[in-house]
Structure 1
Amino acid sequence: MTRRTTFKLITSMVLVMLLIVLTACGNSGTNANSKQTTLDFLWFSDGKEGEVIKEIIKDYEQTNTKVKINLIEVGFKDIQTKLKTMLSGGKPPALSRVTDTGSFANQAVDLTPYVDNADQFEDQFIDSLKPYYVINDKLVAAPMDVTANGLIYNKTLFDKAGVKVPTSPDQVWTWDEYTAALKEVMDKGGARYGMVWDVTPHRWSTLLYQNGGSILTEDGTAAAINSEAGIRSMEQFKQLHQEGIMPESVWLGGENPNNLFRSGTVATHWAGNWMISNYKDITDFEWGVTYMPKGTQRSSVPGGKFLMAFKGSGYEQEAAEFIEYLTSKEVNSKYNQESLFMSPRKDSSVLNYEFGKEMFEIFADELKNSSPLAANDWSRQTIISKISTDLKNNIVEVLSDKATPQEALDRTAKLINEAIGSQ
């Protein structure tokens, strides 16, 4: 072998070795990147919480460098369809923000094995939410925020009429006292109407629970809406319209109750806590939140948004860890405080909101004094979703004198029992 040949051979060997090293380095980088887990997170926003969650995700990724959160944003009205499509197509997201836990419970990861102690984990959250996320003894989700129905009032009109609202739970009006106060604000304060009420069976059912009724029996095996309490609630609701305390234009004509309240001509708005954020820009008059009246008892209707991980994503462990992070005291408090939402955590019922702190505390008190039957009913979304529109239509039938309260609720009960039977 000549010296030139030997030199060429050595050079070739060096080049081969260098290529191997470079390839190894390249493969090492790929392997490092492949170790980063990407979690698809299906999300919708009602307000500013989309920006808040992005900040929280950024903080999480900086601490957990091997995890990347891919936030998939869709409209609220599209979230159910999008999630169902992903699940049926065999490509579930790692996790999603949901309102309807019941419809996806069978596809959800049971978080029980992933938390240190399921009982302690559940005990962090207000009791009334438990039926929403513990289904068939499985921890199928975790609450991210909580909602409540409550009473927003036009302070300017009440002051003009010289009518005082309850300022503590021990001053809560009876329904008779409440309607008398509304009539006085209409007579002396110049209010056109005493109240507007959102056109949803969810909001209407608040009256049902205050009268001691419910949509379903406690065990969920039969309808209970056509009970004496249900009939009384329907009669009472109609009477409010007949006496002109409530405008027919909302439930019968489709007029927006928010716009009516914003006009400054309505004494009270029966709405959800999210309206605090919605109404914060009102400057034409003063407004606030007071306690709802009671029937045989006090009650609101708890609801909220939940976090759910899904089977088959391949990242069940990572999704469960991220859910624990999002529902922890520090992170969940930040999320709800900055989003102007209510925290589902027992230790975060009082937050330092930039606006409406005292108002949120009244909504929180309404939740603490709610009938357990309210969550028991509305957490059963596989049933409620089938009859909700019919219930609304039957309420309208009563208001328009096309059915008696008994007839309307008997029809609703029949539909409920059929829905239960088809489960």
Structure 2
Amino acid sequence: MERSDISRPTRRQYLGASGAAMLAGLAGCLGGGDDDGDGSGDGDDGESVNVELYTWNLGWLEDSITGWQDDFESEFGDEYTDLSTSWVDRGPSTADILAFFEGRLQAGDPPNVFDTQTTAFARYAEEGLFADIEELDDDGVLDRFSDPSLDLLRYDDTLVQVPFYLDTSFTCCNAEHFDEAGIEPPTLDNPWGTFDYLDAAEEVVDNSEAEFGLTHIRFDYNFWPYWQAEGVNVVNEDGTEAAFNTDTTVEILERFRELTQNGYMPEVAWTGEWQPPAEQFGTQNTGMYFGSGSALRLVRSVFGDDWVNEDTVYIGPPPEGGEMYMSYHGFGIVETDGISDTTLDASFDFTSVATNQEWQENFLRSTTVLVPNQDAVEAVRNDEEFANNNPLLMQLYDQFTALEEDFARPPTIPASPTIASILDTEFSAAALGEKSAQQAVDDAESQVNSELSS
């Protein structure tokens, strides 16, 4: 799915869009505001509190989210006057998700809890639109999370999100095709470099019944580990200029173009956003899939456990040096003028329910991603029946544990989602033969630098 670039209004524009009328609207939105308008929201006036959750492409999780709402209202109903919850979900397009949120901000009616993906939170954290989570945590709720998961969600050393779930890169190989071609798959003990992937894509097609050698997902930096593994950074250290216009970048992109034009990679690797590449691998005609662990659920749900099991696929790490969080989600507590302290506290309490051990275990058992609640992960890993029924998931968990200290996050700067979209669009154009690799890299560099300087 194509995604348009996203403009980035400032907090001043959000709050000043409609002058005094805008501020007056904000003062009464979603339980916000107190009668004297000073924003203190001490709750002494018995204000009603509604916590609205906005999730990122989680419509399929309706039963669990309804459970969060019920448990929250039951557990905290006596602490807040007339407590209620509501929920809205959008996706899968990043542009659509962010545009909806920004439209609500400009209308003075933002949701209270925003489930953001990867670095999307940075643009709003820069403008002061998210509360400091550590200031809201009076009961040690954050102790349940791993330190790396907390560090992912800091902006300028301030924790601006409550950890929700995370996803890492992995390699999935068709065992039959690899065995037939005589190729040893990448493992933790024997990881591959980027050029090993590109070479193997040809070898597996030339020496087995595989029609294609490699497919992958690209959006939101999901394909960047290929370049990261070879020492190429997206931006410079201070995030002010593009740093990817190198000979290595062009060389890798030229190889992708050759693989695609010569039929070793399907075009859907450059045109499909999420499900199509996973389905491509699931048809059993492709040697390798590189992407996020969460895609294992897509492959398995469509094609079944009879094919996707520990005997038919090999699970391996990303390119060595290219370990990257493919995505991570956190709950931001929206803090704008007129949203009261009472509503902020209630919003945080809601996230404490959604991320407690019970619901994080439920999330693990419903998905193929990881969660930051350490007790939930340990409980699931020690569930012998679940482990026996989900051996591939256990391999993903073990791989994450082994590589956790090496995983990097994409640039945590306000322009990050737009930069990811630029790289996706330009590099895909080169791989599909629409422009040369060098031209695509030059064009991407120009657009990224323009975005960074705006």
| Same fold flag (TM > 0.5) | yes
| Offset at residue 201 of structure 1 (A) | 5.8
Counterpart in the other structure of 1:112:
134
Aligned residues: 384
Counterpart in the other structure of 2:439:
407
For residues 240-278 of structure 1, what are the alpha-carbon distances to aligned partners after superposition, in whole Å with 9 as ceiling and x for unaligned? 335543134542799932342232211111222221111
Counterpart in the other structure of 1:364:
400
Question: Using the alignment, how far apart are the partners of 2:429 and 2:85 within structure 1?
Answer: 46
Contact 1:394-1:408 at 8 Å conserved across structures: yes
Farther off after superposition, 390-399 or 219-228: 390-399
TM-score normalized by structure 1? 0.77
Change (3 A) 1:209 1:98: same
Aligned ranges 1:102-181 → 2 under 5 Å = 102-105=122-125, 106-116=128-138, 121=142, 124-125=145-146, 127=148, 130-131=151-152, 133-166=153-186, 168-181=187-200
Question: Using the alignment, how far apart are the partners of 1:414 and 1:134 within structure 2?
Answer: 29
Structure 1 residue 396 corresponds to structure 2 residue 428 = yes
Aligned ranges 1:6-405 → 2 under 5 Å = 37-46=49-58, 48-66=60-78, 68-76=83-91, 77=93, 78-99=96-117, 100-105=120-125, 106-116=128-138, 121=142, 124-125=145-146, 127=148, 130-131=151-152, 133-166=153-186, 168-200=187-219, 202-241=221-260, 244-248=263-267, 250-251=269-270, 256-281=276-301, 282-283=303-304, 285-286=307-308, 287-292=312-317, 294=319, 297-311=321-335, 312-314=338-340, 315-345=343-373, 351-352=380-381, 355=390, 356-361=392-397, 364-365=400-401, 368=404, 370=406, 372=408, 375-377=409-411, 379-380=412-413, 382-401=414-433, 403-405=435-437
Question: Using the alignment, how far apart are the partners of 1:253 and 1:60 within structure 2?
Answer: 38
| Offset at residue 128 of structure 1 (A) | 6.7
Contact 2:185-2:314 at 8 Å conserved across structures: no
The SS at the match of 1:260 is helix
Contact 1:38-1:69 at 8 Å conserved across structures: yes
| Offset at residue 151 of structure 1 (A) | 1.6
Change (3 A) 1:174 1:386: closer
Instruction: Return 5+ residue gaps in structure 1 as ranges.
Output: 1-33
Counterpart residue type for residue 223 of structure 1:
A
Change (3 A) 1:135 1:293: closer
Counterpart residue type for residue 241 of structure 1:
T
Question: Using the alignment, how far apart are the partners of 1:113 and 1:303 within structure 2?
Answer: 26
Contact 1:300-1:367 at 8 Å conserved across structures: no
| Offset at residue 328 of structure 1 (A) | 4.1
Question: Using the alignment, how far apart are the partners of 1:79 and 1:400 within structure 2?
Answer: 28
Change (3 A) 1:258 1:357: closer
Counterpart residue type for residue 116 of structure 2:
V
Contact 1:114-1:317 at 8 Å conserved across structures: yes
| Offset at residue 182 of structure 1 (A) | 4.2
| Offset at residue 396 of structure 1 (A) | 3.3
For residues 376-416 of structure 1, what are the alpha-carbon distances to aligned partners after superposition, in whole Å with 9 as ceiling and x for unaligned? 41x32x31333434323321343355544333223222222
Counterpart residue type for residue 404 of structure 2:
K
Contact 2:270-2:428 at 8 Å conserved across structures: yes
Change (3 A) 1:79 1:62: same
Counterpart residue type for residue 95 of structure 1:
V
Question: Using the alignment, how far apart are the partners of 2:444 and 2:296 within structure 1?
Answer: 33
Say which one has the larger Rg.
1
The SS at the match of 1:203 is coil
| Offset at residue 192 of structure 1 (A) | 0.6
Change (3 A) 1:62 1:130: same
Question: Using the alignment, how far apart are the partners of 1:339 and 1:52 within structure 2?
Answer: 12
TM-score normalized by structure 2? 0.73
Change (3 A) 1:414 1:362: farther
Counterpart in the other structure of 1:22:
none
Change (3 A) 1:301 1:226: farther
Question: Using the alignment, how far apart are the partners of 1:252 and 1:276 within structure 2?
Answer: 20
The SS at the match of 2:222 is helix
For residues 60-98 of structure 1, what are the alpha-carbon distances to aligned partners after superposition, in whole Å with 9 as ceiling and x for unaligned? 332222354423223224532332232222223322222
Question: Using the alignment, how far apart are the partners of 1:71 and 1:349 within structure 2?
Answer: 28
